[in-house]
Amino acid sequence: MGILETIKDPLDVKRLEEGELTVLAAEIRDLLVSSVAKTGGHLGPNLGVVELTIALHRVFDSPRDPILFDTGHQAYVHKMLTGRAGQFGTLRQEGGLSGYPSQAESEHDVIENSHASTALSYADGLAKAITLRGEAGRTVVAVIGDGALTGGMAWEALNNIAGRKDLPLIIVVNDNGRSYSPTIGGLASHLSSLRMTQGYEHVLELVKSNLGRVPVVGAPLYDTLHGIKKGLKDILTPQVMFEDLGLKYVGPIDGHDEGAVEAALRRARGFRGPVIVHVLTRKGNGYTHAENHDEDCFHGPGPFDPLTGEERPKPHSWTNVFSEEIVKIGGERDDVVAITAAMLHPVGLAAFAEAYPDRTYDVGIAEQHGLTSAAGLAIGGLHPVVALYATFLNRAFDQLLMDVALHRLPVTVVLDRSGVTGDDGPSHNGMWDLSILQVIPGLSIAVPRDGARLRELLAEAVGIDDGPSVVRYPKGALPKDVEAVGKLGEMDVLRAGDADVLLVAVGPMAEICMEAANLLDAQGISATVVDPRWVKPLDQALVLAAAAHKLVVVVEDSGRVGGVGDAVARLLRDADVDVPVRTYGIPQRFLDHAKRAKILSEIGLTGQDLARQITEAVARRSQVMESHPARLVQPTD
């Protein structure tokens, strides 16, 4: 039996001898590689925090001492050391372990965060609560990466933490110089200088060894230098940025030396106040293929061969199409610039950055800043394209509303991984954007149904010069192109039917709606299928089309509340068209992790489910019409 198999609780980690810790670390890395090779997941970040996490559980008493991980994707080792190592074969699978902290899994997972830069705020509040309740002896630990420190919310938290000298809070800065890719910006440069500095103690030793050879002046001069060591320290190790905030600072520490990390954490705990512990780690440490992976050190690979590090081939994706098309647009228009929030490769902007490096801006994990910076670029005469995961737009809603839309600026926001994303769980499903964006005046929203429409709509969006635009698409492989058979205004007619049902297929739901329409035919119900292409503003031709049908059905890969279905119903009410509207979309709840297809099936967004539900709706509608009071009035002579 390996050592890891004996770990059922953090107390088991505390009982290990020093020599056993090295073996435990090796076993953890083996399990990380073998598990993620099968399921995909966040490998590089977790390989980098093995010794750090072991040290955390040897010094602190989880869950009495809450350990909070920012952004949460590096909590795999924490899960193993809290009794879940035997379940790692189920990682990111339906019914299995989540890829992020999960309160449902363990009392050791205090928060379910997977959006960056949040843990320090959680920690601030939790530490204040512990202090207020007089729970002496407890310590809150927040582990945050240098990438997450590029987010403004982290600095808002630091500002408040530094103002309370009594907070039992330790902030572990896990500094590997990367978020997905190398961390950028002034903070990154600052931390890099800390990583490269040997430390003033080493410099003093060097000075002493040389000056000591000089008679008379050597020793006195060394004493003078030692007397001003604080000034020398400030020059050589710029950790004073943290100290000037009023935070004690310990480090930098070699994050792969478990003993050194453990000693630093014990020292920090003894201060009984807010402390920064700066730990230097290497993303992907211990697995050569991850260490040598230039793009992101196997940050989040899909399934791969653990011997060669080769990922399984991936089909051509929505992201690939965007990547190709934005490079093409960049070649045609030199006013188009691109902005990414620390996700150059995941959102498909790497090729644009290679082609036009001077027109690409990585703002770090700072979506709010990114949108308002885009506003500034637009005021300056450029057309910014801001590429984000849909779930992360939530963080920058105010900036899109007040800084971009209020000024009617030509900024295009491209939302990758919209709708149901699946494996990464509730925080990563991009199901909120079509609801929250409906309230923004002057905003245009395009939802392509396939690769050909993504190319068309991206070009149209970048062509809008009197206000902001959004283009959204899902995660994964492209569906087959669905060609239009006609036009209704600017909408595409995908299938012409009789007056029974008008099916409004929002973007990638087109394929499912076409399947449902074919199944409805077998029930004697004829359906017309249209793709609006632009769902905000809606085409007025939709009013006439709806009036010509008995039932309107809207199908969207988004939350039902406030989404496209609600917008269609409002449009028809305003036009005094009383045709009933049914909306099928994502229920307003947090969805458990599973494959996209499985989730869509569970929430009734398949062709067969839609056909059944629409058939029932038509039957109910027919019963209502038959029993309508107007039909019960007998004609008179």
Q: By the 8 A CB rule, do 169 and 139 touch?
A: yes
Q: Which residue is associated with the tokens 């010094």?
A: 59
The answer to whether 483 is annotated as binding is no
Longest dimension (CA), the chain: 132
**CA separation for the pair 1, 487 (Å, rounded):** 68
Assess whether 395 carries a catalytic annotation: yes
How wide is the angle at C-alpha 65 spanned by C-alphas 60 and 71, nearest 5°? 95
As beta bridge partners, residue 472 has 415
Q: Would you say 389 is a known binding-site residue?
A: no
Active-site residue, selected from the candidate residues 84, 178, 282, 395: 395
From the candidates 29, 283, 417, 475, which is the catalytic residue? 283
Considering only CA atoms, which of 414, 387, 393, 411 is closest in space to residue 468?
411
Whether 147 has a binding-site annotation, put simply, is yes
Contact 424, 97 (CB under 8 A): no
Q: Which of 336, 343, 71, 40 has the alpha carbon at shortest distance from 183?
A: 343
3-state secondary structure of 347: coil
Is position 367 annotated in a ligand binding site? yes
Residue 604 CB coordination number (10 Å): 15
- Distance between CA atoms of residues 597 and 585, nearest Å: 14
E strands, 282-379, in order? 336-340, 360-362
Q: E-strand spans in 257-355?
A: 275-280, 336-340
Rounded CA-CA distance 69/172 in Å is: 10
Q: Is 46 annotated as a binding residue?
A: no
Which residue out of 27, 105, 258, 367 is catalytically annotated?
367
b (16+ CB within 10 A) / e for 157-193: bbeebbeeeebbbbbbbbbbbbbbbbbbeebbebbee
Residue 106 and residue 82 in contact, taking contact as beta carbons nearer than 8 Å: yes
CA angle 107, 111, 113 (to 5 degrees): 140
Task: List Cα–Cα distances, 528 to 331, 332, 531, 579, in angstroms.
Answer: 39, 38, 10, 15
Q: What contacts 385, CB < 8 A, 6 or more positions away?
A: 326, 336, 337, 338, 339, 412, 413, 414, 462
Check if 367 is active-site.
yes
255 is written with which tokens?
A: 């994050």
Q: Could you tell me whether strands 444-446 and 534-536 are parallel, antiparallel, or unpaired per DSSP bridges?
A: antiparallel
Does 159 carry a binding-site annotation? no
Burial of 462 from C-beta contacts in 10 A (0-12 / 13-18 / 19+): buried
From 73, 84, 60, 195, select the one nearest 137 (Cα to Cα).
Answer: 60
For residue 116, say whether it is annotated as part of any ligand binding site: yes
Buried b (16+ CB within 10 A) or exposed e, 366-400: bbbbbbbbbbebbeeebbbbbbbbbbbbebbbebb
**245 contacts: CB under 8 Å, gap ≥ 6:** 158, 159, 162
Instruction: Determine whether 453 is an active site residue.
Output: no
User: Residues forming the annotated binding site for thiamine diphosphate?
Assistant: 73, 114-116, 147-148, 176, 287, 367
User: Residues forming the annotated binding site for Mg(2+)?
Assistant: 146, 176
User: Residues forming the annotated binding site?
Assistant: 73, 114-116, 146-148, 176, 287, 367
Q: Which residues are catalytic, by number?
A: 283, 367, 395
